[in-house]
């Protein structure tokens, strides 16, 4: 029971009602994600078409809302092709390694519950106290990092097992990109649980119940780094180097068709939704928000949660419609030379502030010293990068002459 987490539903005897409640949670989360993906694809198409002065989907269903369903049915009945030189078992396995982590990550996200007066998000269903999330493991944040890293294997194995050079190039790009930005993502999250004092997602949301959102308490910088690194983790523009059509045809999934291609398509948009939900949970208070009508207090936490997630989804689409694709060297420079040092420096500053509060030191002195050290480190790093570029340029000039 301790592995399953702090859900009071699992703290006592597990009877048939408890099992049914758990199955109901799993079913609701599964159906919600599938419907959300369908709506997200439609939302992205319509929003980008509005930004580009086009109509977008308009035939299948009202306002074209059933276009995604039509595309899914079409892909389901298309011929499934497997390349002759592929590793058949790994080729078939790879799409599931990309899809399953998205479901597992969403399982630890609290989407509702009563967090007022230190209630910890506990609600009562069918006479049993429980949380409005599938599971709340004590190491929820580490579970998120572990499961999101598994998606790298799906992409890499898909490109390698195809037996083709262009998918392999896309897979190698994706692996390098996701591993690079995973470090910055982890360091930004480390700042959150340093302030929250817990790895439980429910505990992190409970700590933000009085409007002290981690967006503010961590100093905004980890939030910005998380959004940038998360966008790169999702292979979303302007970081979509793994699917650069001008160079790699379609990237790691070039050789896929029919249902297996649909699984990659489904995983991509599902990961956007789960990453938005994690960002809301870690930095924006999760389902916390004002109860506008006391007669129905239970309905407002899910409403606030979905509104916050919707804002993130809008930002992801906005970035896709606005920014051009980065060059690969720019992508790596941003991750290794800017995001990782910035997230590490800010983490050390927050840790120093926590020590100052425990020891009774003057916070402004610690902030001043910390910012000075960070500035000196940034200048030293910039000088080292500039010197390395000059040396490379000089060496290239000498070789050319």
pLDDT 10s digits, 206-241: 888 888 899 888 889 999 999 999 998 888 888 887
Express each pLDDT in 77-102 by its tens digit. 888 888 888 888 888 888 888 888 88
What is the pLDDT averaged over residues 323-330? 84
List the one residue out of 201, 196, 200 whose CA is nearest residue 138. 200
Task: Report yes or no on whether pTM surpasses 0.85.
Answer: yes
- What pLDDT, on a 0 to 100 scale, did the predictor assign at position 227? 93
Express each pLDDT in 18-28 by its tens digit. 888 889 998 98
List the one residue out of 326, 54, 339, 308 whose CA is nearest residue 205. 308
- What pLDDT, on a 0 to 100 scale, did the predictor assign at position 347? 92
Mean pLDDT computed over every residue of the chain: 86
Percent of the chain with pLDDT over 70: 97
Domains of the chain by residue range: 8-20+76-358, 362-401
The answer to whether residue 71 scores a pLDDT higher than 70 is yes
What is the pLDDT averaged over residues 248-258? 79
Stated length of the chain: 401
The answer to whether residue 1 scores a pLDDT higher than 50 is no
- Looking at the DSSP bridge assignments, the partners of residue 136 are 5
What is the pLDDT averaged over residues 38-44? 90
What is the pLDDT averaged over residues 9-14? 75
Express each pLDDT in 126-167 by its tens digit. 888 888 888 888 888 889 988 888 888 888 888 888 888 888
- What pLDDT, on a 0 to 100 scale, did the predictor assign at position 245? 66
């Amino acid at each position: 029971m301790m592995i399953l987490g702090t859900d009071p539903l699992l703290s006592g005897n597990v009877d048939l009602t408890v099992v049914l409640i758990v199955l109901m949670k799993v079913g609701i989360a599964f159906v919600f994600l599938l419907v959300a993906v369908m709506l997200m694809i439609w939302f992205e198409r319509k929003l980008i078409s509005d930004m580009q002065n086009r109509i977008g989907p308009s035939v299948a269903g009202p306002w074209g809302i059933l276009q995604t369903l039509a595309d899914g049915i079409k892909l389901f009945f298309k011929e499934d092709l497997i390349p002759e030189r592929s590793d058949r078992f790994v080729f078939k396995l790879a799409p599931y390694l990309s899809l399953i982590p998205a479901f597992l990550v969403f399982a630890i996200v609290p989407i509702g519950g009563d967090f007022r007066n230190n209630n910890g998000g506990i609600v009562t269903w069918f006479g049993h106290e429980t949380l409005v999330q599938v599971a709340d493991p004590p190491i929820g944040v580490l579970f998120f990092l572990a499961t999101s890293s598994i998606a790298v294997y799906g992409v890499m194995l898909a490109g390698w097992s195809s037996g083709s050079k262009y998918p392999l190039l896309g897979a190698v790009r994706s692996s390098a990109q996701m591993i690079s930005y995973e470090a910055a993502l982890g360091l930004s999250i480390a700042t959150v649980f340093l302030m929250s004092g817990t790895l439980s997602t429910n505990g992190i949301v409970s700590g933000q119940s009085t409007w002290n959102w981690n967006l503010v308490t961590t100093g905004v910088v980890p939030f910005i780094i998380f959004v940038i690194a998360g966008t790169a983790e999702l292979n979303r523009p302007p970081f979509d180097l793994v699917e650069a059509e001008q160079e790699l045809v379609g990237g790691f999934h070039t050789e896929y068709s029919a249902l297996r291609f649909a699984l990659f398509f489904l995983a991509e948009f599902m990961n956007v939704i789960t990453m938005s939900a994690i960002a809301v949970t870690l930095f924006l208070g999760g389902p916390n928000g004002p109860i506008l009508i006391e007669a129905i207090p239970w309905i407002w936490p899910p409403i606030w949660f979905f509104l916050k997630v919707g804002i993130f989804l809008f930002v992801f689409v906005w970035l896709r419609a606005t920014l051009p694709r980065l060059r690969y060297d720019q992508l790596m420079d941003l991750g290794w030379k800017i995001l990782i040092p910035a997230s590490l420096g800010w983490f050390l500053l927050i840790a120093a502030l926590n020590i100052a509060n425990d020891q009774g030191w003057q916070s402004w002195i610690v902030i001043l010293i910390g910012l000075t050290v960070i500035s000196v480190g940034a200048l030293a790093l910039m000088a080292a990068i500039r010197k390395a570029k000059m040396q490379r340029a000089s060496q290239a000039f000498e070789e050319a002459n």
